[in-house]
Structure 1
Amino acid sequence: MTMKPKRLKKGDTVAVIAPASPPNKENLKRGLKFVEDLGLNYKLGKSLYSEYGYLAGNDEDRLADLHEMFLDDEVKGIICAGGGYGTARIASAIDYDVIKDNPKIFWGYSDITFLHTAIRQQTGLVTFHGPMLASDIGKEEANQTTKDTFQQLFTPADLNYSPELSQIDELVPGSAKGILVGGNLSLLSSSMGTPFEIDTEGKILLIEDINEEPRAVDRMLNQLFMAGKLQESAGIIVGDFNNCVPERELSLTLEEVIDHYIKLAGKPALKGFKMGHCSPHIGVPLGAAASMNTKEKTLFVESGIK
């Protein structure tokens, strides 16, 4: 059963945690100022500034931050500082009843994809695939449209994504309905064979990635295709694939790779959405009802809050 979290209001407190890698401190400082500008207060996870190799503290500490912020009645939403790597390391240790019994806004993307998938499939909670405080908002060149996407947390508003926002191209014609799922392709492929394997059946699947050669994108899409994940979906939305260029002389292009697998799957598909490691970056609720129409080149996603 789908659960929508309650909306934020001015004066609310949100938590800022780093469940994956350590965030850039200067960027995070600017990101926290943005939270204040939204009219919100914030609490920081205890391991937010910790560094344990490529992790923001050890697994136990990052897990404790996640649990603590869902249990804290004062906290009305949780915003991830950044991605990197590490969320899959804690997924099997999460007490999903804590989340189910204390539903609230959970926001992030990239490596956070693993948590989006796990939380939705274990609890039914709608979570948000959107720009993060250090990775996006805190950059000096942060785009205003990227910042504006946080407004969907305050006022219920459906997303009507049309070619006015970016150039949208049809890959496979048709229309589809289903809840929106997915996120970062690397994390979706790494969920395969785990208790948190992405369920795409009858759903609209969003994919995006960064810094992966076409050969790597090919490997991951092939894995999803062989597992039936692409062809089980109702439709496919291709987000931004930032800097996914060949590093070798002999290579297929990214477009050739994506087109090959999307057309093999044969499900209605569109590409060109500003979702992922891009600017602007438009946040979307995962687990919310969605529909797409390739003739009109549109995506509709129902509001993720109540």
Structure 2
Amino acid sequence: MKIPKALKKGDRVAIIATARKVNPKDLNPALRLLESWELIPVLGSSIGLSSHQFAGTDEQRAQDLQKQLNDPKVRAIWCAKGGYGTVRLLDLVDFTAFQQDPKWLIGYSDITALHSHLNKLKVASLHAQICLGIETKTPNTQASLKQLLFAKNWCYTFNGHSQNKPGTAKGILVGGNLSVLFSLIGSRSDLDLQHKILFIEDLDEYLYHIDRMLQNLKRNGWFNKISGLIVGGMSDMNDNTIPFGQNALEIIQEAVAPYDFPVAYNFPAGHLEENQAIALGKKVQLDVSRHQSELKYI
């Protein structure tokens, strides 16, 4: 797995929109944050474009991503906004130059499509807060992103959960938004899961759909391959008039009950006030108990 080089003061960070359109004024907090870290923000050509809900056409967004991937002066690419649309770019972009000179790709939610694709290309990336909303998140949200960009250690110690399945596992960290990962199954951007630690999170899904996705992962053999599971925010779930009968965590617990890998709930990442950055593609150790869990890079 290729790990992008650590950033240093004076490096350029491109801000682009791979999905929904963005008002440039809304990016001011992210610009100020980068400048406070003595980095140079560069707005991509997709910022400010509009094509229905998207930040320009697929071709325009792909051209911007391609430019930033190929520019040797740009050392990280920070996605401005999620929503939907990133998957539409994957087959329009040539990642050859990027594989030779990888740089950090930053984002979460819909950006999971890119993270999963980069996993197949054997390049690490950062599952972290998008530009929008960075000013509303906890200090650890920003601090973890800065630490990982500048290649400094970051260890995650988080509260246990009654549904935790205790144990220890080692492996390369992969994952992201459950719905996006589900949508990529069978494609050439599907995750490589053998001996991996899988992280999942999601937002605003119906509980029956969470169950549908978990049953699909189970039947596709995901849980026969992974070494551990980390569950982040499962936020703002929806139910029908006739209740499903389980919440999201109970659905996950039931789906993975037959397997012997450790499972940690309450991880501080996802569509939460605390959305700590994690380096997908790096090797980690996961230690899970009922009272506390820890994730560290090794």
Q: Same fold (TM over 0.5)?
A: yes
Residue 268 (structure 2) aligns with:
274
Residue 128 (structure 1) aligns with:
126
* CA deviation map 1:260-281 (0-9, x unaligned): 1121344211100011111111
Percent same amino acid among aligned pairs? 33
Structure 2 CA distance for aligned equivalents of residues 114 and 189 of structure 1: 10
How has the CA–CA distance of structure 1 residues 169 and 82 changed in structure 2, closer, same or farther, with 3 Å as cutoff? farther
Structure 2 CA distance for aligned equivalents of residues 298 and 256 of structure 1: 19
Confirm whether residue 210 of structure 1 aligns to residue 203 of structure 2. yes
Shift of 1:205: 0.2
Residue 193 (structure 2) aligns with:
200
Q: Of the candidates 277, 292, 300, which is equivalent to residue 295 of structure 2?
A: 300
- Give the conservation status (yes or no) of the 8 Å contact 2:7–2:151: no
Structure 2 CA distance for aligned equivalents of residues 297 and 230 of structure 1: 23
Give, as a single letter, the amino acid of the residue that structure 1 aligns with 2:157. S
Structure 2 CA distance for aligned equivalents of residues 157 and 33 of structure 1: 21
* CA deviation map 1:52-82 (0-9, x unaligned): 1222111111111111112112111111111
Return 5+ residue gaps in structure 2 as ranges: none
How has the CA–CA distance of structure 1 residues 26 and 260 changed in structure 2, closer, same or farther, with 3 Å as cutoff? farther
Shift of 1:162: 1.4
Structure 1 CA distance for aligned equivalents of residues 179 and 39 of structure 2: 33
Structure 2 CA distance for aligned equivalents of residues 57 and 212 of structure 1: 27
Confirm whether residue 137 of structure 1 aligns to residue 134 of structure 2. yes
Report which stretch shifted further, 169-178 or 55-64: 169-178
Residue 189 (structure 1) aligns with:
182
Taking structure 1 as the reference length, what is the TM-score of the superposition? 0.91
Q: Of the candidates 113, 123, 145, which is equivalent to residue 150 of structure 1?
A: 145
Taking structure 2 as the reference length, what is the TM-score of the superposition? 0.93
Shift of 1:226: 0.8
SS of the residue 1:246 aligns to? coil
How has the CA–CA distance of structure 1 residues 219 and 23 changed in structure 2, closer, same or farther, with 3 Å as cutoff? farther
Structure 1 CA distance for aligned equivalents of residues 265 and 104 of structure 2: 27
Residue 76 (structure 1) aligns with:
75
How has the CA–CA distance of structure 1 residues 239 and 194 changed in structure 2, closer, same or farther, with 3 Å as cutoff? same
- Give the conservation status (yes or no) of the 8 Å contact 1:20–1:85: yes
Shift of 1:142: 3.1
Return 5+ residue gaps in structure 1 as ranges: none
